[in-house]
Amino acid sequence: MKISEKTIKRLEETARTIRQDVIKMVTQAESGHPGGSLSETDMITALFFNVMRHKPKNPQWEKRDRYVQSKGHSCEALYSAMARCGYFPTSELNTFRQIRSRLQGHPSRADLPMIEASTGSLGQGLSIAIGMALGLRISDIRSRVYCMIGDGELDEGQVWEAAMSAAHYELDNLCAIIDNNGLQIDGWNEEIMNTAPLPDKFRAFGWHVIEIDGHDMSEILGAFHDAERMKDKPTVIIAETMKGKGVKFMENKVEWHGKAPTKEQAVIALRELNG
Q: Is the pLDDT of residue 119 over 80?
A: yes
- What is the spatial distance between Cα 260 and Cα 119, in angstroms, rounded to a whole number? 21
Q: What is residue 173's predicted lDDT score, i.e. its pLDDT?
A: 98
- What is the spatial distance between Cα 72 and Cα 78, in angstroms, rounded to a whole number? 9
Alpha helices in 31-89 (DSSP H): 34-46, 76-85
pLDDT tens readout for residues 201-222: 999 999 999 999 999 999 999 9
Q: How confident is the model at residue 113 (pLDDT cuts 50, 70, 90)?
A: confident
pLDDT tens readout for residues 25-84: 999 999 999 999 999 999 999 999 999 999 999 999 999 999 999 999 999 999 999 999
pTM above 0.95, yes or no: yes
Backbone angles phi, psi at 128, to 5 degrees: -65, -45
Q: Is the pLDDT of residue 1 over 80?
A: no
3-state secondary structure of 248: coil
Q: What is residue 80's predicted lDDT score, i.e. its pLDDT?
A: 98
Residue type for position 162: A
Q: What percent of the chain has pLDDT over 90?
A: 98
Q: Is the pLDDT of residue 103 over 90?
A: yes
For 213, the enclosing helix (H) or strand (E) is: strand 208-213
* Mean of pLDDT values over 261-268: 98
* Mean of pLDDT values over 163-182: 98
pLDDT tens readout for residues 168-177: 999 999 999 9
Do 36 and 102 meet the contact criterion of CB atoms below 8 Å apart? Answer: no
Backbone angles phi, psi at 231, to 5 degrees: -115, 140
Q: Is the pLDDT of residue 2 over 90?
A: no
Q: What is residue 275's predicted lDDT score, i.e. its pLDDT?
A: 80
pLDDT tens readout for residues 16-42: 999 999 999 999 999 999 999 999 999
Boundaries of every domain in the chain: 5-273
Topology of domain 5-273 in CATH is Rossmann fold (3.40.50)
Name residue 235's beta-bridge partners: 175, 208
Q: What percent of the chain has pLDDT over 70?
A: 100
